[in-house]
Amino acid sequence: MAVNASAGAVLLLAPGTVAALGAFCLLRAFAGLPATGGGVGSAGQQFLLAVALLALGLWTAPPLLHGYGHLTRAVLGRPGTAELNRRISHLAQTRSETIDASAAEIRRIERDLHDGAQARLVAIGMALDAVAQLMESRPEAARELLMHARDNSAKALAEIRGLVRGVHPPVLADRGLADAVRALALDSPQPVSVRGDLTGRLPEPVESAVYFAVSELLANVAKHAEARHVSIDMGHDDDMLTITVADDGLGGADPAAGTGLRGVERRLAAFDGGLTIASPLGGPTAITMELPCALS
């Protein structure tokens, strides 16, 4: 306020004041009135002074007004170095969190493969070896082992399919984010209404991040909210994807409370996205996700 009232006022008002004074002197010269002050004694001198003031005001107006704009940006705008440092800090943090999340996901996949499908495949191999040994001497026992191996193969296939679905769901790959969110709504234990649609496809990494973010939010509602109804609103405008998940439950959702919201924030931050939470105690809760992205 102090800078704008002093230096800003000078830059903003000086050209207009000079031009107005020149116009006033010009009118006096045409009217043939005597000069007042400034030592101008004749009408010709007053006319020349008026033209000079008017030209000076018009000539200095553009650079002074540009200077006022620069002054305003310097006072009110974020310095370029500070903005760059903030951006670098944000990217470093999100990169570290994304790497940690990816490493944890890889460990989970390895654990699920080792404890599930891999163990069943080893058991199938051992059963087939036993079948080869019993084929001639005990065909009934060999037949039972074959049936057991077939059951294990079906269970291993189901576990592998479940693992693949956890990495990238087929409905998401085949039909896009909007239909994948509707599939999540159908599987939710609470009644979920889905409004809005997307007129195109998002980049695959964004679709995957948003899908699992919505899945996590619905899981949080089922575990903690005691809600009777959930609504999901989707929209895309001006290259900004917006999805709001709202429920009529208990409220009190807090990223620091270990309810999975911190993980959702981490997923979105990797794409310069953000999470807005409105969840007073007693409810209702509305969580809005925003990501800058373009539709193909």
pLDDT at 114 over 50: yes
Q: What pLDDT band is residue 108 in, cutting at 50, 70 and 90?
A: low
Tens of pLDDT, residue by residue over 229-247, are: 888 998 888 888 888 998 8
Higher-confidence residue: 216 or 152? 216
**In angstroms, rounded to a whole number, what is the distance separating the alpha carbons of residues 124 and 121?**
5
Q: What pLDDT is recorded for position 40?
A: 44
Instruction: List the one residue out of 233, 207, 216 whose CA is nearest residue 286.
Output: 233
Tens of pLDDT, residue by residue over 44-70, are: 677 787 788 888 888 888 888 888 888
Q: What pLDDT is recorded for position 115?
A: 65
Instruction: List the one residue out of 278, 295, 100 whose CA is nearest residue 197.
Output: 295
pLDDT at 35 over 60: no
Q: Let me know the angle formed at the C-alpha of 182 by 176 and 184, rounded to the nearest 5 degrees.
A: 100
Name the residue ranges covered by the structural domains of the chain. Answer: 2-76, 99-167, 170-292
- Cβ atoms 18, 59 nearer than 8 A: no
pLDDT (average), residues 126-135: 77
What letter would DSSP give residue 242? Answer: E
Show the beta-strand stretches assigned E in the chain: 192-195, 230-237, 240-247, 274-278, 285-292
Tens of pLDDT, residue by residue over 1-31, are: 888 778 878 887 888 888 888 888 778 777 7
CA distances from 186 to 218, 229, 230 (A): 11, 13, 12
Q: What pLDDT is recorded for position 268?
A: 82
Q: What pLDDT is recorded for position 105?
A: 64
pLDDT at 96 over 80: no
**In angstroms, rounded to a whole number, what is the distance separating the alpha carbons of residues 58 and 15?**
7
Q: What pLDDT is recorded for position 145?
A: 77
| Structure-token pair, residue 70 | 């620069």
**In angstroms, rounded to a whole number, what is the distance separating the alpha carbons of residues 275 and 236?**
16
Q: What pLDDT band is residue 94 in, cutting at 50, 70 and 90?
A: low
Q: 277-293 in b/e burial notation, b at 16+ Cβ within 10 A?
A: eebeeebbbbbebbbeb
Top-ranked range on mean pLDDT: pick from 73-87, 160-174, 195-209, 251-265: 195-209
pLDDT (average), residues 192-199: 85
CATH superfamily of 170-292: Histidine kinase-like ATPase, C-terminal domain (3.30.565.10)
